[in-house]
Amino acid sequence: MKLNNIGKIVAGIVIFIVLATFFFWYGTGKSSSLPQPSLDTPAIAQMKEKRCVEDKAFMSINHMKLLHNWRDSAVREGNRNYTAKNGNVYKMSLSGTCLECHSNKEQFCDRCHTYVAAKPACFSCHSIPAEVKK
Ligand code: HEC
Ligand code: HEC
Ligand code: HEC
């Protein structure tokens, strides 16, 4: 192998490593500005296994779809029980179920929504548990 080629390979490897780790080191300086939804609520503190209705990856991306399905199922079909993938059964209720665990709406839901400038117009009708409003 020619020396010239080895130089190119080394350069290639260096570029690869820089690119592959880019998001790691690029993120470190900025991470404090990302939303940090807090799980610090009495209901979650009591849980043995800290688990949402579905797993975290699913919830982060799909909680809006899940909520829309819950509403349609509860309001249109009168079915108010949701069976999760792991077999747990939840009452389909925004205030009664989601905000029962996530009773810190401002430090949880709102932190993310403010970050992405989303304003779900649910709480003009749905109540926020009293402890959150204080
Ligand atoms: C204009 C008022 C209004 C708005 C805005 C609204 N809802 Fe509702 N929602 C209702 C009513 C009324 C019911 C029926 C209550 C019942 O049957 O228990 C309901 C029921 C539901 C239910 C099932 C029952 C329960 O207690 O949660 C879900 C879930 C739900 N809505 C989600 C949402 C979501 C998510 C949003 C925002 C994207 C939203 N709703 C916005 C009025 C509203
Ligand atoms: C039984 C308590 C409980 C209920 C009910 C619950 N959650 Fe969660 N939720 C949690 C816990 C605990 C986590 C953290 C899971 C983890 O870290 O693996 C979580 C995580 C999440 C996340 C991901 C947060 C992140 O940092 O990415 C979202 C979004 C979420 N929940 C929304 C909801 C919504 C919307 C509802 C109602 C449909 C709901 N949760 C109902 C306990 C609950
Ligand atoms: C990990 C971040 C995160 C957390 C925590 C979170 N959300 Fe969201 N939520 C989002 C993102 C991102 C969107 C999508 C915004 C868009 O599409 O513009 C969204 C959208 C929604 C929507 C759909 C908006 C609409 O107008 O239909 C609803 C409803 C919603 N979230 C409810 C909740 C509730 C209730 C909680 C707290 C229990 C919660 N979210 C917690 C990130 C989060």
Q: pLDDT per residue over 30-45, tens digit each?
A: 455 789 999 999 999 9
User: Which atom of ligand 1 is nearest the CA belonging to 74?
Assistant: 23
pLDDT at 14: 65
80 lines ligand 1 (CB under 6 A): no
Instruction: Identify the residue whose C-alpha is closest to ligand 2 atom 33.
Output: 98
Instruction: Identify the residue whose C-alpha is closest to ligand 3 atom 14.
Output: 118
Whether 84 and 60 have beta carbons less than 8 Å apart is answered as no
- Weakest mean pLDDT among 7-16, 26-35, 42-51, 100-109: 26-35
- CA separation for the pair 77, 70 (Å, rounded): 10
Give residue 106's Cα distance to chain centre.
Answer: 14
